Amino acid sequence: MISKDARSLLDYLKALLNDVRIKPDIPTDMIDDEDFLCLDKTIKSVREAALELGKGNLSYSIEGKGYVLGSLKALQSSLRNLTWKTKAIAAGDFSQSVHFLGDFSDSFNSMTKQLAVSIQEIKEAQEHFEMVFNTIPDATIITNFEDGSLVAYNQAFIETTKFSVAELNQNPVTIIDLYLNIEERKMLLEKLKKDGYIENAEISFLGRSGEILTGLISSRLIFMKEVPHILSVIRDITELKEIEKKLQKSEELHRLLADNAADVIWTMNLDGKFSYISPSVKKLRGFSVEEVLAQSQEEVLCPGSLIHLQQGLERAIHSVQNNQPFQVFRGELEQPCKDGSTVWTEATVSGIYSEDGRFIGMLGVTRDISERKIMEEEILRLSITDKLTQSYNRLKLDETLEQQFERAKTEAIPFSIIILDIDHFKLVNDTYGHQVGDRVLIELVAALTENVRSDDIVGRWGGEEFLIILPETNLSDGLHVAEKLRDVVETYRFTTAGQVTISLGVSAYRDDLTPESIVSRADAALYQAKENGRNRVEFLE
Amino acid sequence: MERKYAFSWDLLGDIAEGRPYLGNATRIEVYRLMQFTFKDIIEQHVGWEKTNEIFYQAGKLAGQEFYQNMIDKTDDFNNFINQLQTVLKELGMGIFRVEEADMEKGELTLTVAEDLDCSGLPETGYEICTYDEGFIAALLEGFSGIPFVVKETDCWCTGDRTCRFSAKATNEGN
Ligand SMILES: [Zn+2]
């Protein structure tokens, strides 16, 4: 049995520990008891501390001292330290671990470790992305979908646009400012909204100093913190465009030149087919470009020139197969024209190589050389023609004599020669003057030429002396020709001079003679004719 | 004043050489015996307050030397705390924890459980870890370069289970 006072004290303490509400009054006879007041204060502190800790209020300052309060403080201290560690972990310090909260410590530490691994993985993924992002050789940017602000860019973007990193940091750029035509961005955004991506769209954009660049843009719609952004890779094709333009221009220029040149410019494959020929071919040969492109080699070249093309092609194929440089070919070719005539041309042919050194075909320039050909022939003719009489000169006579002698020697085909001289020519000159004398020479040559075969060679041997070479003619036939000529001249009436006679000496090839001795034998015969009274034919036995 | 006791870390001696059998360990009682007998005699000479002052200063000197010799220099606060935690635990000096730390404001609340000086001591009703106070102040100054004042707010000797220290940066010396 306990006293009534003790009962009321117990009720007070019980309520203090168990009830929601504290009895307001301290039992009256305890009011001055210091120990009781201390106990009362401690229990009230414990109540408050437990209540606040229970609510999770860690910043509550626990009043008082003693074992129970001390333990509560230790608990509070642990929880506060845990809070601090959690904050440190949240800030990225994964070295933090907990060792004072039993099973909780293990769970907490493994959570931290897992978090560290995950964060590390994310970090590595991010680093990997950044590395890839930065090393993409094309300008790569991330922009805000709505306002176009530049969120990220790589080194290639800096190099393409010529902005500096410092500039971009100081004055943030929005991609809208870099579009030459903002409508292009609007169209790209429409497509992005619709498809979520853009591939290789050509855009024009501005570099730092306003230079216009051309790019192929490929974009994807991405979300960063739930905000729509655009990841774009822009291939700078400005230079490519420039080159393309230049190439086009130069091609046009070349075509223009080729189309308008007087020379014919053409390209040909190794199979001998034209791949291009300039329209000037029409002027040269009368055929149109289409007609020429369809022509066979035989239709392009006359038989004598065809061999040049065939040999040229063989050499070209050989060079290409052996990786040798193409030998530039230059030659004169005769080509058939549409009107059935032919034209002489000079062709210069060289190889065409691609930039990487591959043989592509042949490039030829064909030039009309018919005029030159005529000139050449004229020069040749003049070189063998006697200026006054237009008969052959001594050069041609010597040459022909040599040829005939060789032929007779090797093929046993005989030939004869006649040397003739105008009788008393000095008298003609003295009587009528040199002009008439010259006239006689000219008319004589005409009369002689008219009365020999076309293959016979009539030439001026010197002064009023002429030599006639008669191929495939023996001595007796030669004598007949000589006699005929003597007769023709004797009956011919020369302008002003009237009748003029000639003396003739004939000799023929014999295998014991030389060209010189054949001539001297004819000469000696002519001398004899003069001795024997002129206007006659003689020969040596 | 001519000095004979000027401290240097070398004074701790070569323990492996000097104590091949007994090694590095000794009993806590021995440490406390020395500290409390010092306190007794010093108090008799200079009084209670001056004694605390002397122990605070001694703790500070110890903290400076400890920081120089046992802590790797770092700018990272967490790294500094981790090092401190590890080395204090390894040396058996206590379990050091941070409750709150605001280095910008220069305000920290730190706790040391199982403190070398006071854990398990009978209640005296007043905090006695003045040596720890100085020690912690010097460590914080070592790390931050700013002087700190450290006051023990809870102690085993006042009935608590851990020693709690409140540290504040001061402008003193600036
Ligand atoms: Zn203490």
Reply yes or no on whether the pLDDT at A136 is more than 70. Answer: yes
DSSP A42-68: HHHHHHHHHHHHHHT-TT------SHH
Lowest mean pLDDT among A158-162, A238-242, A247-251: A247-251
Amino acid (one-letter) located at A514: T
Average pLDDT on B102-127 reads: 88
Gap from CA of B151 to ligand 1 centroid (Å): 10
Reply yes or no on whether the pLDDT at B173 is more than 50. Answer: no
Average pLDDT on A533-538 reads: 95
A&B contacts, CB < 8 Å: 57
| Cα four-point dihedral sign A62, A63, A65, A67 | negative
Residue B8 makes CB contacts below 8 A (sequence gap 6+) with none
pLDDT score for A440: 94
Q: Spell out which residues of chain B touch residue A78, defining contact as CB-CB under 8 Å.
A: 97
Q: What 3-state class would DSSP assign to A471?
A: strand
Could you tell me the residue ranges of all domains in chain A?
4-86, 136-236, 240-374, 386-539
Distance CA A483, CA B128 (A): 168
Domains of chain B by start residue, with CATH:
58-169 (3.30.1380.20)
Distance CA A485, CA A444 (A): 10
User: Is B114 in the A-facing interface, judged by CB distances under 8 Å?
Assistant: no
Gap from CA of B63 to ligand 1 centroid (Å): 17
Average pLDDT on A115-125 reads: 88
What CATH number does the domain located at A136-236 have? Answer: 3.30.450.20
Contact A66 B159 (CB under 8 A): yes
User: Is B85 in the A-facing interface, judged by CB distances under 8 Å?
Assistant: no
* Equal fold, A136-236 vs A240-374: yes
Nearest to A77 by CA among B159, B120, B113: B113
Reply yes or no on whether the pLDDT at A68 is more than 50. Answer: yes
Q: What 3-state class would DSSP assign to A152?
A: strand
Query: Do residues B123 and B142 make contact, with C-beta atoms less than 8 angstroms apart?
Result: no
Reply yes or no on whether the pLDDT at B111 is more than 70. Answer: yes
Contact A65 B159 (CB under 8 A): yes
Average pLDDT on B108-132 reads: 89
Token digits for B128? Answer: 């006695």
pLDDT score for B38: 94
What is the H or E stretch that residue A504 is in? Answer: strand A502-508
Distance CA A172, CA A149 (A): 8
Report the CATH fold assignment for A240-374: Beta-Lactamase (3.30.450)
Q: Mind listing the pLDDT tens digit for each residue in A304-318?
A: 888 888 888 888 888
Complete edge-to-edge strand list for the sheet that includes strand A465-471: A457-462, A465-471, A415-422, A502-508, A537-539
Of A70, A80, A96, the CB nearest to B161: A70
* CA A190 to chain CA centroid, nearest Å: 38
Reply yes or no on whether the pLDDT at A107 is more than 80. Answer: yes
Most B-contacting residue of A77, A93, A98 (CB-CB within 10 A), to test interface = A77
Residue that is written with structure tokens 């066979």 in the block: A296
Distance CA A500, CA A424 (A): 8
pLDDT score for B174: 45
* Cβ count near A191 (within 10 Å): 15
pLDDT score for A257: 74
Q: Mind listing the pLDDT tens digit for each residue in B7-41?
A: 999 888 888 888 988 888 889 999 999 999 999 99
Instruction: List own/partner pairs for B119-126 with CB under 8 A and 24 or more apart.
Output: B119/B94, B119/B156, B119/B163, B120/B156, B121/B156, B121/B157, B122/B157, B123/A65, B123/B156, B123/B157, B123/B158, B123/B159, B124/B157, B124/B158, B125/A65, B125/B157, B125/B158, B126/B155, B126/B157, B126/B158
Chain B: residue whose CA lies nearest to A76: B99
Contact A77 B111 (CB under 8 A): yes
Alpha-carbon distances, residue B32 vs A60, B117, B156 (angstroms): 34, 7, 15
Chain A: residue whose CA lies nearest to B101: A84
What is the H or E stretch that residue A508 is in? Answer: strand A502-508
User: Looking at domain A386-539, which CATH architecture does it have?
Assistant: 2-Layer Sandwich (3.30)
User: Is B166 in the A-facing interface, judged by CB distances under 8 Å?
Assistant: no
Residue that is written with structure tokens 């074992």 in the block: A67
Distance CA A255, CA A441 (A): 59
Of B79, B97, B160, the CB nearest to A81: B97
Averaged pLDDT score across all residues of chain A: 88
Token digits for A189? Answer: 């955004």
A244 versus B148: the higher-pLDDT residue is: B148
Reply yes or no on whether the pLDDT at A453 is more than 80. Answer: yes
Q: Mind listing the pLDDT tens digit for each residue in A357-396?
A: 778 788 888 888 888 888 888 888 888 999 899 999 999 9
Nearest to A264 by CA among A284, A244, A292: A284
Chain B: residue whose CA lies nearest to A89: B78
Distance CA A93, CA B78 (A): 7
Residue A257 makes CB contacts below 8 A (sequence gap 6+) with A265
Reply yes or no on whether the pLDDT at A493 is more than 90. Answer: yes
User: Is B100 in the A-facing interface, judged by CB distances under 8 Å?
Assistant: yes
Most A-contacting residue of B104, B162, B164 (CB-CB within 10 A), to test interface = B162
Q: Spell out which residues of chain A touch residue B97, defining contact as CB-CB under 8 Å.
A: 77-78, 81, 84
A28 versus B67: the higher-pLDDT residue is: B67
Q: Determine how β-strand A359-368 pairs with β-strand A264-268.
A: antiparallel
Contact B113 A74 (CB under 8 A): yes
Q: Spell out which residues of chain B touch residue A69, defining contact as CB-CB under 8 Å.
A: 159-160
Q: Spell out which residues of chain A touch residue B121, defining contact as CB-CB under 8 Å.
A: none
Amino acid (one-letter) located at B4: K
The CA-based dihedral angle spanning residues A436, A439, A445, A447, taken in that order and rounded to the nearest 10 degrees: -90
Residue that is written with structure tokens 């809070």 in the block: A83
Of A65, A74, A80, the CB nearest to B100: A80
Query: Do residues A98 and A104 make contact, with C-beta atoms less than 8 angstroms apart?
Result: yes
| Cα four-point dihedral sign A291, A292, A298, A301 | positive
Q: Determine how β-strand B148-154 pairs with β-strand B162-169.
A: antiparallel
What is the H or E stretch that residue A11 is in? Answer: helix A4-18
pLDDT score for B70: 92
Helix then strand then coil, in percent of chain B rounded to 5, is: 45, 15, 35
Q: Predicted confidence band at B172 (pLDDT cuts at 50, 70, 90)?
A: low
Distance CA B101, CA B117 (A): 24
Q: Determine how β-strand A212-224 pairs with β-strand A197-206.
A: antiparallel
Chain B: residue whose CA lies nearest to A93: B78
Strand partners, A152: A142
Half-sphere exposure of A10 (CA within 13 A, CB side): 6
Q: Predicted confidence band at A65 (pLDDT cuts at 50, 70, 90)?
A: confident
Average pLDDT on B100-122 reads: 90
Average pLDDT on A481-506 reads: 94
Of A67, A71, A81, the CB nearest to B99: A81
Contact A77 B97 (CB under 8 A): yes
- b vs e for A304-321, b when ≥16 Cβ sit within 10 Å of the residue's Cβ? ebeebbeebbeebeeeee
CA distance B68 to chain A (A): 23
Most B-contacting residue of A65, A82, A83, A105 (CB-CB within 10 A), to test interface = A65
Of A70, A81, A95, the CB nearest to B159: A70
Q: Mind listing the pLDDT tens digit for each residue in A246-270?
A: 878 877 777 777 666 778 888 888 8
Residue A473 makes CB contacts below 8 A (sequence gap 6+) with A414, A415, A416, A481, A508
Chain B: residue whose CA lies nearest to A63: B154
Residues of A with CB under 8 A from a CB of B: 65-67, 69-71, 73-74, 77-78, 80-81, 83-85, 88, 91, 93, 95-96, 100
Q: Spell out which residues of chain B touch residue A81, defining contact as CB-CB under 8 Å.
A: 97-99, 111
Reply yes or no on whether the pLDDT at B167 is more than 70. Answer: yes
Of B78, B109, B162, the CB nearest to A74: B162
User: Is B124 in the A-facing interface, judged by CB distances under 8 Å?
Assistant: no
Query: Do residues A468 and A457 make contact, with C-beta atoms less than 8 angstroms apart?
Result: yes
Residue B89 makes CB contacts below 8 A (sequence gap 6+) with B95, B96
Lowest mean pLDDT among A58-72, A118-132, A176-190, A255-269: A255-269
What is the H or E stretch that residue A232 is in? Answer: strand A227-236
Query: Do residues A230 and A142 make contact, with C-beta atoms less than 8 angstroms apart?
Result: yes
Q: What 3-state class would DSSP assign to A193?
A: helix
Distance CA B56, CA B131 (A): 5
DSSP B87-144: HHHHTTS-EEEEEEEETTTTEEEEEEES-TTTTTPPP-SS---HHHHHHHHHHHHHHH
Distance CA A389, CA A446 (A): 8
pTM of the shown model: 0.49
